Amino acid sequence: MKLPDYVKENFKQILLLRSFRARICLLVLAVGILTSVMMRHAIMSTYQRRAVQQRTETVQNQLLIVAKHLISNNYFATYRMQEPSMVASRQGINAELETISNLYGGRVMVIGKNCKVIRDTYGISEGKTIISEEVIQCFQGQNISHYDEEHGYIEMTIPIASTGTDGKSSIVGVMLTSVSDETIIEMIDRMNRAAITLEFLMIMGIVVASVLLSGVLTRPFGKISTEIRKVKEGTSERAISVPDYIETEHIVDAFNDLLGRMNALNDSRQEFVANVSHELRTPMASLKVLADSLLAQPDVPAELYREFMTDMASEIDRENRIITDLLALVKMDKTSQDLNIVALNVNDLAELTLKRLRPIARKKDVEVTYESMRPVIAEVDEVKMTLIMTNLVENAIKYNREHGWVKVVLDADHQYFTLQVSDSGIGIPEEDLPHVYERFYRADKSHSREIGGTGLGLAITKSAVLLHRGSISVTSKLGEGSTFTVKIPLNYIAPAKTAERR
Instruction: Specify the pairing of strand 405-412 against strand 367-372.
Output: parallel
Min dist. Cβ of residue 350 to ligand ADP (A): 17
Min dist. Cβ of residue 474 to ligand ADP (A): 8
Alpha-carbon distance of 339 to 384, in angstroms, equals 8
Q: Which is nearer to ligand ADP, 79 or 437 (CB)?
A: 437
Length of the chain: 502
Backbone phi and psi for residue 399, each to the nearest 5 degrees, phi listed first:
-95, 35
Distances (CA, A) of 261 to 62, 83, 266: 90, 117, 8
Give residues in contact with ligand ADP (CB under 6 A): 395-396, 399, 423, 425-428, 436, 441-444, 448, 453-459, 482
Q: What share of the chain is helix, strand, coil (3-state, %, to 5)?
A: 60, 15, 25
Min dist. Cβ of residue 311 to ligand ADP (A): 20
Q: Which is nearer to ligand ADP, 109 or 357 (CB)?
A: 357
Which of 485, 463, 488 is closest to 376 using CA atoms? 488
H or E element in which residue 411 lies: strand 405-412
H or E element in which residue 422 lies: strand 416-423
Q: Which is nearer to ligand ADP, 283 or 425 (CB)?
A: 425
Min dist. Cβ of residue 449 to ligand ADP (A): 8
CB atoms near residue 13 (< 10 Å) = 13
Min dist. Cβ of residue 382 to ligand ADP (A): 21
Q: Which is nearer to ligand ADP, 218 or 390 (CB)?
A: 390
Q: Which is nearer to ligand ADP, 255 or 441 (CB)?
A: 441
Alpha-carbon distance of 224 to 201, in angstroms, equals 35
Q: Which is nearer to ligand ADP, 231 or 329 (CB)?
A: 329
Min dist. Cβ of residue 464 to ligand ADP (A): 12
Alpha-carbon distance of 163 to 204, in angstroms, equals 64
Q: Which is nearer to ligand ADP, 210 or 482 (CB)?
A: 482
Q: Which is nearer to ligand ADP, 128 or 447 (CB)?
A: 447
Which of 176, 67, 158 is closest to 122 using CA atoms? 176
Question: Residue 362 — left, alpha, or beta (φ > 0 → left; ψ -120 to 50 → alpha)?
Answer: alpha
Min dist. Cβ of residue 385 to ligand ADP (A): 17
151 Cβ contact list (under 8 Å, min separation 6): none
Question: What residues does 394 pair with on adjacent strands?
Answer: none
Q: Which is nearer to ligand ADP, 48 or 395 (CB)?
A: 395
- Measured between its terminal Cα atoms, the distance across the chain in Å is 44
Min dist. Cβ of residue 495 to ligand ADP (A): 25
The contacts found for 38-44 with CB under 8 angstroms, 24 or more apart, are 40/192, 40/195, 40/196, 40/199, 43/195, 44/188, 44/191, 44/192, 44/195
Q: Which is nearer to ligand ADP, 101 or 448 (CB)?
A: 448
Min dist. Cβ of residue 383 to ligand ADP (A): 18
Alpha-carbon distance of 184 to 154, in angstroms, equals 11
Alpha-carbon distance of 473 to 486, in angstroms, equals 7
Alpha-carbon distance of 97 to 120, in angstroms, equals 9
Question: What residues does 293 pair with on adjacent strands?
Answer: none
Q: Which is nearer to ligand ADP, 55 or 462 (CB)?
A: 462
Q: Which is nearer to ligand ADP, 111 or 464 (CB)?
A: 464
Alpha-carbon distance of 208 to 28, in angstroms, equals 10
Min dist. Cβ of residue 233 to ligand ADP (A): 39
Min dist. Cβ of residue 427 to ligand ADP (A): 6
To 10 degrees, the CA torsion angle through 127, 132, 136, 137? -140
Min dist. Cβ of residue 305 to ligand ADP (A): 30
